Structure 1
């Protein structure tokens, strides 16, 4: 799907600093100050239009959430949601996942979510997958000891390759489902893609993986 460019997106987001952090590098190590509390910090890498992150924030008001999106034209949809229905425990960043060390100190992030990431199915593109070892190393550097990744996808090959990559990295798996909606947990928050794929009868794969560092 071609991304529709929205040239007004960045200016709009900068007008709403309660939702959008324009200079996250300046907030590294100071996220508790940004939110005004010491609550746990969960981030979602690749938040789309924000259904998951805003749903989780409503479900867990005692947790701070950060939506990570690379493209301003996508992230602006989340900011618009937060302007229409303010949620003080959500912030939006437009940054590249490979640079997360520039925005978070070691242990500053409590948990990381990867939902319906681009599968990059060709072998030559494996390094671009958000579960590739270089990304795992980045996540490990911002999570605490025994930090967790929660991962959901509709793509079985991506799920299988991620299991292998994480296992080879030394991670362990605490929970796994090959058909999440067959016995869906009551607290599961669906993403936009998850809702779409589930309505088409596509099984949803999910796991919780822990760094053993």
Structure 2
């Protein structure tokens, strides 16, 4: 469903210290934003923010940055963070193609990619957040042995993403084609995940580690 433009969203985000609307100014300085040395985890494509909220509540010793392009969804994620009164999450409105412009070398310890657009047409596949084009950007700021946690409902995207990870020097540490029946502990169900699972679609999941 396409969201209508909310003209009030940007002023509301700019007024909150929990939303960083000028992220390039903090490249190499994100620990100063959180005022601690805890690991920084990213969610790329945070949507309305339920996943990052639950993750942050369960892991107060980690710092989270939730990124999405649309002000209309970032502001909804921001409101959830504000309402929960937690300080270990920042929201960032950003086109993910520019992700390597806001983080410095070894600044990030984990990336979550949940149900990104599968871009099934060949001419569009470079837009996938798991494509080698993006993985090489992530490697510029991911620490050695850092992980990317990837979930999808799309079979083709999942299979081809494994090839992308291998090509870019990531090792698959865990993989399942049926997450909810895999026995994997620590999964946090996203809104899309619940929707697809309720429809009988099996959720694919992997953990790729930077070598």
Q: TM-score, normalised by structure 2?
A: 0.96
Unaligned runs of 5+ in 1: none
Cα separation, 2, equivalents of 1:51 and 1:203: 21
Quick check: 2:107–2:142 contact (8 Å CA) kept in 1? yes
Match of 2:134 in 1: 135
Moved more, 161-170 or 57-66: 161-170
Are positions 1:13 and 2:16 aligned together? no
Deviation at 1:184, TM superposition (A): 4.4
Report the secondary structure of 1:111's partner residue: strand
Quick check: 2:68–2:94 contact (8 Å CA) kept in 1? yes
Cα separation, 2, equivalents of 1:192 and 1:176: 21
Moved more, 177-186 or 131-140: 177-186
Quick check: 2:176–2:182 contact (8 Å CA) kept in 1? no
**Mapping of 1:1-213 within 5 angstroms?**
1-17=1-17, 19-212=18-211
Deviation at 1:183, TM superposition (A): 3.2
Distance 1:46 1:146, change over 3 A: same
Report the secondary structure of 1:144's partner residue: strand
Unaligned runs of 5+ in 2: none
Report the secondary structure of 2:73's partner residue: helix
Quick check: 2:119–2:128 contact (8 Å CA) kept in 1? yes
| Higher strand proportion | 2
Deviation at 1:164, TM superposition (A): 1.4
Quick check: 2:131–2:161 contact (8 Å CA) kept in 1? yes
Deviation at 1:63, TM superposition (A): 0.1
Deviation at 1:27, TM superposition (A): 1.1
| 1:107-164 Cα shifts (integer Å, max 9, x gaps) | 1001111100000111110111111111000001110122211100011111011011
Distance 1:11 1:75, change over 3 A: same
The root-mean-square deviation of aligned C-alpha atoms, in Å, is 1.1
Quick check: 1:42–1:66 contact (8 Å CA) kept in 2? yes
Distance 1:184 1:80, change over 3 A: farther
Report the secondary structure of 2:150's partner residue: strand
Cα separation, 2, equivalents of 1:187 and 1:132: 26
Q: TM-score, normalised by structure 1?
A: 0.96
Structure 1 residue runs of 4 or more that deviate by more than 4 Å after TM superposition: none
Report the secondary structure of 1:149's partner residue: strand
Deviation at 1:77, TM superposition (A): 0.6
Deviation at 1:83, TM superposition (A): 2.0
